[in-house]
Amino acid sequence: MKRILVTGSSRGLGLEFVKQLLEKGNQIIACNRNPLKYPDLLELKNKFEDKLVLIDLDVSSKDSIDNAFTLISKEIDGLDILINNAGIRFGGEEKYCDELGKLYKEDFGKIFTVNSVAPVLIVEKFLPLIKNGRDPVIVNISSTSGSIGRRSRKGGGYSYSASKAALNMITKALSVDLHEEGITVVSIHPGWVKTTMEYTENAPLTTYESIKGMRKVIDTLSIEKTGKFFDWEGNDLPW
C-alpha cells in the first residue's frame, strides 16, 4: 500500500487517478476545492472510507496549501507519491482563445499560478512528508504542448504551452535538488484525453486508458529515471 496525494481530484484525470489507485489498495489523499460537493468523490468515500481522505485545497492559495498540509500531516506521517494534477487551460470565463491579437495578461497570470507555480509550492510545503515516504516519487502532469522540441508547425497556445514548459523546467530543477534525498521527480504527458476541458471532444483516449497507462509508468519509476519527461506509454519526450 502506498500513500498517494492527488491534486485536482474532483473530475477528469484526477478523479480517475483516485478511482484506479484506490482499487489497487492504496491510501489516497484527494485534494480539490470543496470536495464535499462532488458526488463521485463522496461515492468513493463511502466505498473506501478508511482508504480515502478528502481535503479542501485551492492550489492557487498559499494559505490553502498551508492549511491542507496541516490537515494531511494529522492523517499520515509520510507521502510515497505526490501527483500534481491540478491544472487549467484558460484563465477567463470566455472561450479559450490564446492567439496573437487576442491575448490577456490576466489569463497568463492565472494559468501560470495554477499550472507552474502551485506544483513547486506544493512540493516545497509537503517536502517533510515526501522525505518520509518509501522510495518517494513526484509526478507533475504536463503536456506535449509544453515541449519546445516538438513545437515547429503550429503556433498559438501561448499561455498554456508556456506554463507547461515552465512546469517541465521546474521538474528538471527539482530532480537535481532532490536527487541526493532519493526523491524521483518526473513530468508525464497524459495524452490527448476526452475530459470536460475545452476542445477534447474528439480526443482518442479515455480517462481510464490514460490513467492506466500513467500508472504503469509510475510503477516503473526509480531514481535512475528522475528528471525525465514521459508520455502515458512510457516513451521519452523532448523538452
Domain annotation covers residue 142? yes
What is the pLDDT, as a whole number, of residue 91? 60
Average pLDDT on 99-116 reads 87
Q: Are strands 3-7 and 27-32 parallel, antiparallel or unpaired?
A: parallel
CA distance 143 to 120: 17
Q: pLDDT, tens digit, for every residue of 158-173?
A: 899 999 999 999 999 9
Domain annotation covers residue 237? no
Q: pLDDT, tens digit, for every residue of 210-223?
A: 999 999 999 999 99
What is the pLDDT, as a whole number, of residue 199? 56
Residue 49: give its domain's CATH number: 3.40.50.720
pLDDT at 92 over 70: no
Range of the domain at 119: 3-231
Domain annotation covers residue 144? yes
What is the pLDDT, as a whole number, of residue 18? 98
Domain annotation covers residue 163? yes
Q: pLDDT, tens digit, for every residue of 16-73?
A: 999 999 999 999 999 999 999 999 999 999 999 999 999 999 999 999 999 999 999 9
pLDDT band at 94 (very low <50, low <70, confident <90, very high): very low
In this structure, the dihedral spanned by the alpha carbons of residues 29, 2, 50 and 139, taken in order and rounded to 10 degrees, is 20
Domain annotation covers residue 188? yes
What is the pLDDT, as a whole number, of residue 157? 80
Q: What is the mean pLDDT of the chain?
A: 93
Residues comprising the chain, all counted: 239
- Number of separate domains in the chain: 1
Percentage above 70 pLDDT, the chain: 94
Tell me the C-alpha to C-alpha distance, in Å, between residue 159 and each of 99, 105, 208, 238. 9, 9, 28, 19
Domain annotation covers residue 238? no
Domain annotation covers residue 58? yes
C-alpha cell, 71: 490537515
What is the pLDDT, as a whole number, of residue 101? 79
Domain annotation covers residue 140? yes
**Cα 184-190-192 angle, rounded to 5 deg:** 160
pTM, two decimal places: 0.94
